[in-house]
Structure formats: structure tokens, C-alpha cells
Structure 1
Amino acid sequence: MSGTVSRTGRSEVDRLNKGGTIRTLMRRPEVGAFVVMAVVIVAIAVVSGGTALNPLGLKNNLSIISQFGIIATGACLLMIAGEFDLSIGSMIGFAGMAMAMMLKWGLPFGLGPATPLSAFALTLVMTLSIGWLIGFIVVRSGLSSFIVTLAFLFFLRGATEVSFRLINQSTQISGLPDYKQSDWFARMFGGESLGWFYDIWFALGGNLNRAGVQWVTGFDARLVWWLVIALVAYIVLSRTQAGNWIYATGDNPESARANGVPVDKVRIGLFMFTAFCATIFAACQVFETNTSDAAKGNLKELEAIAIAVVGGTLMTGGFGSVVGVLFGAITFGLVANAVFFIPAIDGSYYRVFVGVVLLSAVFLNEGIRKRITGGL
């Protein structure tokens, strides 16, 4: 009898624990993004006949996914803190212009020719300074970050175009030396990485072109940058006091300030972080393609925010997940790139997809928030 009761008791406990686990998972901010990602991966793999996941398809898809992931990670942390940055796309164009012009015309103030390292370092100083200025204006003026960063969206885009025309007589710079072939720093951004993955694939009898030789030799370097940025952001959010500060700032800034959280410093630091992510994005583009264009980064700020929302980040702050952004970036990257390996798909359907998924994610995230807060 006692044994039967014991087994029954354990079964009941197991059942309750299982239910508790499911309920816990349903409260995770990234659960919706994971479901959408899984459906998109299966659908595109089937419709493309597997070409989306062959060696070249995988490389190309992860290249687009990494671009989205880099800027969406910065947008996610800032949104968790309750702020927005609409200047990310313009910052990408500005940073790319600055690097390309220094590489072509030399460092400012007659300091001599630029190297990839010096051009990047000086550009990063400028973009971080602009990020600091945006954050300073937001916290000191009390204005909405939406309005302040909207102003910088126009300012940076206009300054980029004006600078291109005044100095280069064109809104594009092309034909830069292929620095990644000879310079280690340029190769960190524009070269290839994780070649061992494709070497193993080749050794196992795959990754072959029609001539029977290795087809693809590595991923774009931006994949490593995305993974590193995402990992650091995840650790900061989930394992450090700074992560608690970020969540507290977005949840209730006045209460956080009363409890000793440096709310203003958190906000300014996160605006600088989005500027950093935009600069990394721009560096990868410049050193990979050896070109720059004033139109680079156009609308990327909206895509970054959309990915963060689809990944489970609340528009109101205080709730979000870097893991969800990873799922969202994979989803958006696959759909955006689908037109290249599924010719029957019109590229404009990508925007339709973004609109539908974004609106659905907002409702889903609000439902999760209400379950967590008890309907508050």
C-alpha cells in the first residue's frame, strides 16, 4: 500500500512539475520568437529544396542574419531600459562614410595616411561620442528618446550625404584597396571565420562543388562579431548587476533611482552601445566590399526594433531577452534572403511578413506580460 501511494505521489508531483515547467516556458519572452523561427526554417528548407541550407546557402543566410543580429542586440538592451534609438541606420551610414573617407584621403588634420585600425578607431571615437551626446540630451532634457533620436536620424543622414558630396563629389566611394588580403585588422571584419566548420563538412564528403573541390571555405567574419556581442550582452543581462540595473531602469526608473541604480548612466551607456553596434556593422560592410555608400543602413533602425519586439522585448521596457533577439534575427534573415534562393518569391513579401509578424508579436508579448504581472 505504501509503495503504491509513494508511486502515485511521485506521479502527481511529476505531473505538477511538468505543468509548472510548461507554464514557466510559456512565460519566457522568447517563446513566440522560437516558434516562428522553427516554422520559418522548416518552410524555407522545404520550399527551397534544401538549397537554403547547403554550404553556400548557409553562409549567405548567416551573413544577413548576423547583420540583423548585431544591431538588434543593441536595440534590445536599450529597449529593455525603456528607450529607443532611431538613429542606428543613419549611424551605420555615417560610420561607413568616415572610415572609407579616411582610408581614401587620409586621417584628418594632416595626420598622414590611414590604416584600417586607425580609421576604425577614430570612427569609433566619433560614433561613441555621438551616442553619448544622444543619451545626455535624453536624460538631461527629459525629452522622449523617440524624438531625440529621430532628430539625429535626419542629422546624421544629412551630414553623411553632404560630406560625401563636398569631399568626394559623389555619395559613394568604391575601389578601395582590398585591405583584408594584407591587413589582420581588416580581415577581422571583412574576411572569413570558422573555416574549420566547412573543413569538417568537406572531410565528411560534403561541401563539394561540381569540380569535386571544396566549395565554401568559411563564414563571413561578421558572424563571429554577432556571436561575441550577443554572448556578452546575454552575460551582462543575466549574470551581472548591470543587467539588473538595465531591467530596473526600464521597469520603474523612479523606483530604481530611489534604490541606488544609476539610471542616467545606464541610459547613456546603452545609447553608446547601440552606436558601437552600428560601427561594427559598418566596419564589416566597408572591409568586406571595399566600398561605402551614403544610403547604407537605411531603415535598419526599424528592422532592429522589429526584431527586438519579435524576440520578446516589450515596447514599454523592463522585459526582454537576448536569446529572443537571436531567434528573431534568424527568422528575419532567412525571410529577407529567401528571394535569392526561391525565385518565385517577390522580395516585397518580406515587408508584408515583417508587418504581420511584428503586430502578432506585440499582442503575444502583451499577453505574456499580463500573465507574469497578474494582469497589471
Structure 2
Amino acid sequence: MTNSTTPTTSSSGRTEADRLQKGSRLSALVRHPEIGSFVVMVVVIIAIAIASNGNAFNPLGLKNNFSIIAQFGIIATGACLLMIAGDFDLSIGSMIGFAGMSMSMMLKWGLPFGLGPATPLTAFALTLVMTLAIGWLIGNIVVRSRLSSFIVTLAFLFFLRGLTEVCFRIINKSTQISGLPDFKETSWFANLFGGEVFGWFYDFWFMLGGNLNRAGNQWVYGFDARVLWWLIVVVVAYVVLSRTQAGNWIFATGDNAESARANGVPVDKVRISLFMFTAFCATLFAACQVFETNTADAAKGNLKELEAIAIAVVGGTLMTGGFGSVLGVVFGAITFGLVANAVFFIPSIDGSYYRVFVGVVLLTAVFLNENVRKRITGGL
């Protein structure tokens, strides 16, 4: 009779260990803020693909969809970082209208103070200086007055929208500017915002026998330039948030500002910088619109601030700050863009259902995000 010193594990023990390991993996997956928005995105993609008979994802459909998605994504990324830091910016939409007005008026009437005609570069640069200054002002008012960012930016929502309309009427005698020269044809800078990118994608699709019009020629030649700007904003925001000390400061500021300040985090500078970042995103949004369509309207950007916040929340960003994901915002922007554009591919759908969808998904996301927060904080 021999004695074995090798430890043995029962099959039931292995089963229990496997179950616990799978449970821990599932629990870790659920903790990711972007998991909910990813699931919703997949469901929406499948539903729209079926309902539109695939037309939503043909060459032109793909281009149009990503044009809307990129618009949402640019401003929602700015809103996401600001919300992670514990603040809101309700002036984003009005900032878009203000920036578009500023650029288009300079392109039509010339530089202020009679300094001569404006080029796309100078019009954009001067507009960006103004919008960043407004973002800096908003941030300073919020930080120094200790007022709620909701109230301060709500005030600037009305102020900037009113200022835009007044300037349009006084200088342009109308709240719209149309018929600007197609600066994309003569200016490399305008082409950066209003031209097309990733032409190789559609060229490759054509070589494979797709992307054909009825005459058998290539149908679509590239995505709108705003798609590239969206990707740049997303990559920069993701790197900053997840790979730099500034990202840690943003999370710490939103989690507990006083504790973060006590540990050496420049809380005030972080908050002001993020208000300036949302202003930059709004200016980028406006530049893409102006140089693509060669028009401007005082109503541009209306309600975009609410859509940006909604996308950030659906993407897993907590309303209370300290928690969020740029990747989740990407999923949320894709979802919102597809639903907003679905009316063009599914004629039987009333466009107002988009607002119904936003309301339902937003409320569901708030409950799910609160559940995630409780899991992470242990119910605090």
C-alpha cells in the first residue's frame, strides 16, 4: 500500500473555482462604463441594417451616417471630459452658432477694424481665440464664484445665442449667410475641415466591385473631413484621460475636488482647461459646417449641448463626476448618429421618434450608471 503526497482536487472543486472565475470576469466586465453603450450600439446597428435593407450601410449611407456621428462625437467628447471633472457646459450649442457666425462674417465682410479680407486660416484662428477666451471666462466664473456650472453655462447659452442673432442682424441684415465661395477649392486650410478624407477606403471598395453607381462608375470618394477630426479628438482625449497625469487629475477633481486639492491637484486649472476644451470642440464643429456647406445660420448648434450630454451619459459618464469613458462616448455617438439619420433610410419612421429614443435610452442609462457606481463604491 502506497501513500501519495500529491494534492488532489475534486471535480466539484474545479467546477466551483471555474464558476467563481467566470463570475469575477463577468463582474469586471459589467464594471466597465462603456459596456452598456456597446450593447445598445450593436442592437441599433442590427435593427437599422434590417429595417433599411442594408441601405444605411451602402457607400453613401455610410458616408452620411459617419458625418452625423462625427458631429456628435466631437462635442460629446468635450462634454464627457468636463462631466468626469464634475461640471456641465450648456453653452456648447450656442458656442457652435457663435463660432460659425464669426467665421462666416469675416469670410464675407473681412477682418474687424478694416484690417482687410480674411482667409479661412485667419477667420478660424481669430474665432478660436474668441471662443477659447469665452471658455476661459466661463471656467473662471464657475471656479471663483463657486456657482453651479449648470447655472453659469445656462446664462451663457442665452447670452451667446442672443449675441449671435444680434450680430447677424446688424452686420448681415439676416440671421443666415449663404453663397460663400467654395474655399475648399482654393485653400488647403478650408479643405482640412470641409473636404474629404480616407478616400482609399472607397477606392478599395470600388476595386472589389462595390461602390458603383448606376452607370458603373465609382459612387462615393471619401468621408467628410469631420470624421478625421473626430478621430483625432477621441484619440487625444483617450490618451490624456488614461495615460497621463492630467487624466488622473480630471478623475480626482470629479471624484472629490477638496480631497484632490489637498493632494496637490490643480483643481481650478483643470476645470478651466476643460471649459476651454469644450469651446475648442464647438469651434471645430462649426468650422467643419462652415467650410463644408459654405453657409452659416444663427440657429446652428441648437440643442446640441443636450445631445452632447446625453451621449456622454449613455456612454457611461456619471452625472456626479469622477467616472466615465471616452470609448463609451464613441459607442454612444455611433448609436445616436445612426438613429438620428435613420429617417432617411427608413421612410416609414417619423423623425420625432429620435427624441423618443433619446429620452428612453438616456433615462435607462442613468439608472444603469448609478448601479455601476454603487458596485464600484460599495453602495456609497
User: Are 1:154 and 2:158 an aligned pair?
Assistant: yes
**Could you report, residue by residue, the CA deviation over 1:116-147 in whole angstroms, capped at 9, with x for unpaired residues?**
00000000000000000000000000000000
Query: What is the match of residue 76 of structure 1?
Result: 80
Q: Which amino acid counterpart does residue 52 of structure 1 have in structure 2?
A: A
Q: Percent identity?
A: 82
- C-alpha separation between the residues in 2 aligned to 1:142 and 1:9? 57
Shift of 1:18: 2.9
- C-alpha separation between the residues in 1 aligned to 2:10 and 2:59? 54
User: Are 1:121 and 2:151 an aligned pair?
Assistant: no
- C-alpha separation between the residues in 2 aligned to 1:6 and 1:286? 70
- C-alpha separation between the residues in 2 aligned to 1:337 and 1:138? 36
Q: Which amino acid counterpart does residue 34 of structure 2 have in structure 1?
A: E
Query: What is the match of residue 130 of structure 1?
Result: 134
Query: What is the match of residue 360 of structure 1?
Result: 364
Query: What is the match of residue 60 of structure 2?
Result: 56
Query: What is the match of residue 328 of structure 2?
Result: 324
**Could you report, residue by residue, the CA deviation over 1:64-119 in whole angstroms, capped at 9, with x for unpaired residues?**
00000000000000000000000000000000000000000111112111000000
1:195 to 196, 199, 204: 199
1:372 to 347, 356, 376: 376
Query: What is the match of residue 339 of structure 1?
Result: 343
Shift of 1:181: 1.4
User: Are 1:297 and 2:274 an aligned pair?
Assistant: no
- C-alpha separation between the residues in 2 aligned to 1:244 and 1:180? 40
User: Are 1:214 and 2:238 an aligned pair?
Assistant: no
- C-alpha separation between the residues in 1 aligned to 2:234 and 2:255? 22
Query: What is the match of residue 108 of structure 2?
Result: 104
- C-alpha separation between the residues in 2 aligned to 1:13 and 1:57? 48
* Structure 1 SS opposite 2:86: coil
Shift of 1:12: 6.0
Shift of 1:10: 7.2
5+ unaligned residues in a row in structure 2: which ranges?
none
Normalising by structure 2, report the TM-score.
0.97
Q: State how 1:248-263 maps to structure 2 within 5 Å.
A: 248-263=252-267
User: Are 1:32 and 2:61 an aligned pair?
Assistant: no
Cα 1:213–1:19 change in 2 (3 A) is: same
Shift of 1:22: 1.3
- C-alpha separation between the residues in 1 aligned to 2:32 and 2:81? 16
Please tell me the root mean square deviation across aligned C-alpha atoms, in Å.
1.5
- C-alpha separation between the residues in 1 aligned to 2:93 and 2:334? 19
Shift of 1:363: 0.3
Normalising by structure 1, report the TM-score.
0.98
5+ unaligned residues in a row in structure 1: which ranges?
none
Q: Which amino acid counterpart does residue 36 of structure 1 have in structure 2?
A: V
* Structure 1 SS opposite 2:129: helix
* Structure 1 SS opposite 2:105: helix
- C-alpha separation between the residues in 2 aligned to 1:345 and 1:13? 50
* Structure 1 SS opposite 2:21: helix
Cα 1:263–1:346 change in 2 (3 A) is: same
Q: Which amino acid counterpart does residue 337 of structure 2 have in structure 1?
A: G
User: Are 1:178 and 2:174 an aligned pair?
Assistant: no
The structure that has the greater radius of gyration is: 2
Cα 1:360–1:106 change in 2 (3 A) is: same
Query: What is the match of residue 271 of structure 2?
Result: 267
Query: What is the match of residue 23 of structure 2?
Result: 19
1:93 to 92, 97, 106: 97
Q: Which amino acid counterpart does residue 183 of structure 1 have in structure 2?
A: S
* Structure 2 SS opposite 1:206: coil
- C-alpha separation between the residues in 2 aligned to 1:7 and 1:57? 54
Q: Which amino acid counterpart does residue 373 of structure 1 have in structure 2?
A: T
Query: What is the match of residue 235 of structure 1?
Result: 239
- C-alpha separation between the residues in 2 aligned to 1:259 and 1:88? 31
- C-alpha separation between the residues in 2 aligned to 1:186 and 1:7? 68
- C-alpha separation between the residues in 1 aligned to 2:224 and 2:136? 30
- C-alpha separation between the residues in 2 aligned to 1:21 and 1:218? 40
Q: Which amino acid counterpart does residue 17 of structure 1 have in structure 2?
A: Q
